[in-house]
Amino acid sequence: MGKQYEIPMGAQHVSLLEPLHFKFTTENEKIVDTTANVYYVHRGIEQACCSKFKFRQVSFVVGRVCGLCSISHSTAYSQVAEKLVKIEIPRRAKYLRMLVIELDRIHSHLLCLSHVAENSGFEALFMKTMQYREFSMEMLEAICGNRIQYDFSIVGGVSRDLKPQVGQMVLDRLKNFKPQLEELLDIYQNNWTLSLKNKGAGAITREDALRLNVVGPFARAAGLDIDVRNETEDLLPWKEVGFEIVTEKAGDVHARNIVRLNELFVSMRMIENIINGLPESDLITETKAFPDGEAVVRLEAPRGELFYYAKGNKTQILERLKIKAPTFSNVSAMVEAFKGNEYGSTPAIIASYDPCLSCTSR
Amino acid sequence: MKTFFKALGNLFKKPITTKYPFEQTYIPDDYRGMIGFDENLCIWCRRCEMVCPPGAIVFSQDMEGKQTYHFNRAVCIYCTECVRACPKEGAIFQTAEPAKCALKEENINNGWNALFDEALKSRADYAAEKKRLAAEKAAADKAAGGKKDQEIK
């Protein structure tokens, strides 16, 4: 047995995207043990939602929890608030919500993939992925009026309508994007240099993933078919617009890349279906009721299952709001997946987890 | 090998990035830009102030009861809630023009907090004054009414 060294990494580090601290115990460059420390960026959003803001304003506050999955947070909150005030939203609003969630998934997944490439030392692929990602940002700007923090889902429906010419523009740009995505899939799948850093790195078995409660693309890469879009139909009709689950078996960084890329194909198909079959109805269900009782909502954010719990007491201000972000569920598995890897491959592994600490710590 | 030729070809292509300050980037027609206000159309119901999530709109009131609209473009999140809440079409509206950056000289945070508190206080003062006047008037009416009653008797 060789000498063991402890290497701290974070909370500020060049290859870390988020304020997250890891302490690796290494032995001849092999990681034998890891501890993780999160909660560096606590902002007290839950408390603010329950004290300062009225329940209709909270959907804008929780939209600022995370820059990448803003729409997932505001949609999940809107759904939980709609359950509390007991209203059903119009069908068109449901479809528009799904449209923005899927466009958001495209840009979030491509960001993650580009960072995996960068942290594996493949700068050119990082640039290429970011270049191809730009179209989704522009489309989100055209639909929601903003590149980030869309403020699209509000309690009772959506805030803006999709203009026909914008819908047509999205379809045209998606047609351009498809060959680009195929090119990316080819590079991520077959590039020999990238495979040296990605294949076999950060692997987690299916049993471990099940035991440690992994969610999102992390779980789907390990062979678990966990996806909220596959399980619930009552709030958003995912299966109607052609959702299919994507899984891989290996559970390593490479498998996660492939799951993300294949999910983008599914997302693209869903966006096309949504725009082509957009139902005609109002955008908002108006109500003057106050939130009462308790409710729980699950939604598939780009990183996995997002969970919202809210409790109302017949006043304008909520009594309790609880947010459980997908990264929080994955932290224990992140620590597990480092074991037995080279220390040099940790940046790529961390990027492939796609951690979102501003969601986790709020 | 394919990648190699592609890389060679890229040497002679134009860059994909835009030269931002000299060349305008993509802005959609209904971009969420500056919030405009039309004083002549406003019915002074203060509903926009009530729904605004960050508190970027506030109305102050002078002793004659005339209200003034204050808006802070740095606090505003451009969510369009005020426009949706407005009962009078066109009184408060959104333009596609991006907001200008806040400058240090404008003291936009602390100055705004002070202004916000002042505006709320001015309204409370006006309400208190109005209440006092109403009470005085009621007392005067009562006194006058009492006199009348006595006269009738």
Per-residue confidence of chain A (362 residues) as pLDDT tens digits? Answer: 678 888 888 777 777 777 888 888 888 888 888 888 887 888 888 888 888 888 888 888 888 888 888 888 999 999 998 888 888 888 888 899 889 999 999 989 999 889 888 888 888 888 888 888 888 888 888 888 888 888 888 888 888 888 888 888 888 988 988 998 888 888 888 888 888 877 878 888 888 888 888 888 888 888 888 888 888 877 888 888 888 888 888 888 888 889 889 989 999 998 999 888 888 888 888 888 888 888 899 888 888 888 899 888 888 888 888 888 888 888 888 888 888 888 888 888 888 888 888 788 77
Q: Is B79 an interface residue toward A (CB < 8 Å)?
A: yes
Please compute Rg for chain B using Cα positions: 28
Q: Do A60 and B51 lie within an 8 Å CB cutoff?
A: no
Upstream peptide bond of A11 is cis (omega within 30 degrees of 0): yes
Structure tokens at B71: 């808006």
Residues of B in contact with A285 (CB under 8 A): none
Which of A57, A138, A160 faces B53 most closely, judged by CB atoms? A57
Q: Is B149 an interface residue toward A (CB < 8 Å)?
A: no
Residues of A in contact with B81 (CB under 8 A): 57, 60, 154, 159
Q: Which domain holds residue A296?
A: 4-361
**CATH number where A256 lies:** 1.10.645.10
Question: What is the distance between the alpha carbons of residues A194 and A200, in angstroms, rounded to a whole number?
Answer: 12
Nearest chain A alpha carbon to B97: A145
Closest CA to A358 of A87, A26, A20, A58: A20
Who's near A101: CB < 8 A, 6+ residues apart?
A71, A72, A75
Taking the CA atoms of residue A51, residue A53, residue A56 and residue A57 in that order, the dihedral angle to the nearest 10 degrees is -150
Outline where chain B has alpha helix (H): 2-10, 47-51, 81-85, 110-152
The CATH number corresponding to B19-148 among 3.30.70, 2.60.40, 3.40.630, 3.30.310 equals 3.30.70
* SS3 at position B36: strand
Q: Do A159 and B79 lie within an 8 Å CB cutoff?
A: yes
The number of distinct structural domains making up chain A is 1
Question: What is the distance between the alpha carbons of residues B16 and B106, in angstroms, rounded to a whole number?
Answer: 37
Residues of A in contact with B27 (CB under 8 A): 141
pLDDT of residue B142: 84
Question: Does the structure's ipTM exceed the value 0.90?
Answer: no
